[in-house]
Amino acid sequence: MKKLIASLVLAVLPAISLASGAGVHLDHMKPDLHDKASLQKGAALFTNYCMGCHSLKYARYERIANDLGISNELYEQNLMFGDAKIGELINIAMPASNAKTWFGNPPPDLTLEGRLRGADWLYTYLRAFYVDPSRPYGVNNAVFKDVGMPHVLAGLQGVCAHKPETGAEKKVDSLSGRIVSEGGCEEYLKEGSLSKKEYDETVYDLVNFLVYMGEPSRLQSERLGVYVLLFLAFLFVFVYFLNREYWKDVH
């Protein structure tokens, strides 16, 4: 009995520690793997803003192109650099040892990041950079304290002047119905090219893509799951009558 209780506790422990996220409140987003347009935009954003430092070394260009409905030619022309081939794994040229010197930590591979951190964490992290002159790249992050990554999306978001409140409830003035505060960045030191809402949508697409990346066969599995259940339902009819047949003379 003791053993059983201990193993039950151990089984739920990772879930508890993950859910607590070291006390940081997270903003919520609901990934939508059926939204091809969003995934395509996410793939383009990842290629342009992240692939300089982060690889997707367990994924192939071709698989992404096929899954997201992008033709191989279009993918090769727009989303691949150098002499990479469409059938190759997505590696990057930056040597990990140099990267460690430049950033303190080498940028990790992000193929499985969607599964490791989850959509909410990523969605909040990418919107939680703020100015901090004491850091080497002048920014810190409200979700990942003292992160080595620069704010690479600053051109789009701008640079937040204060540590943003994450996971905040929207506060609405009950008389006028106007939003008084909604968390996130309230004041910018430098404006970016996107509005707050547009930036949220951009990060949504990017995270949607990372979630897809962590489990590319998810949609196929779901579709197959329906067929399996239909088959079992169909089989049940026969098994039921067979059972009746076997037992009909036994009383």
Chain contacts with ligand HEC (rule: CB under 6 A): 49-50, 52-54, 103-105, 107-108, 113, 117, 122, 125-126, 147-150, 152-153, 206
* Residue among 87 and 108 whose Cβ is closer to ligand HEC: 108
**Alpha-carbon gap, residue 38 to 209, rounded angstroms:** 8
* Shortest separation between residue 46's beta carbon and ligand HEC, angstroms: 6
* Residue among 90 and 149 whose Cβ is closer to ligand HEC: 149
* Residue among 67 and 205 whose Cβ is closer to ligand HEC: 205
* Residue among 131 and 208 whose Cβ is closer to ligand HEC: 208
* Residue among 52 and 87 whose Cβ is closer to ligand HEC: 52
Q: To which H or E segment does residue 121 belong?
A: helix 119-125
Give buried/exposed letters for 113-123 (b at 16+ CB in 10 A, else e).
bbeebbbbbbb
Task: Write the CA distances from 57 to 61, 66, 134, integer angstroms.
Answer: 10, 17, 33
Asked if 210 contacts 46 with a C-beta cutoff of 8 angstroms, the reply is yes
* Shortest separation between residue 4's beta carbon and ligand HEC, angstroms: 34
Exposed/middle/buried for residue 178 (C-beta within 10 Å: 0-12, 13-18, 19+): exposed
* Shortest separation between residue 129's beta carbon and ligand HEC, angstroms: 11
Q: Which of 31, 88, 39 is nearest to 59 (CA)?
A: 88
* Shortest separation between residue 196's beta carbon and ligand HEC, angstroms: 17
* Residue among 35 and 109 whose Cβ is closer to ligand HEC: 109
**Alpha-carbon gap, residue 59 to 113, rounded angstroms:** 13
Which residue sits closest to ligand HEC, CB atoms considered? 50
Asked if 123 contacts 207 with a C-beta cutoff of 8 angstroms, the reply is yes
* Shortest separation between residue 98's beta carbon and ligand HEC, angstroms: 11
Alpha-carbon torsion, ordered 208, 95, 97, 127, to 10 deg: -20
* Shortest separation between residue 117's beta carbon and ligand HEC, angstroms: 5
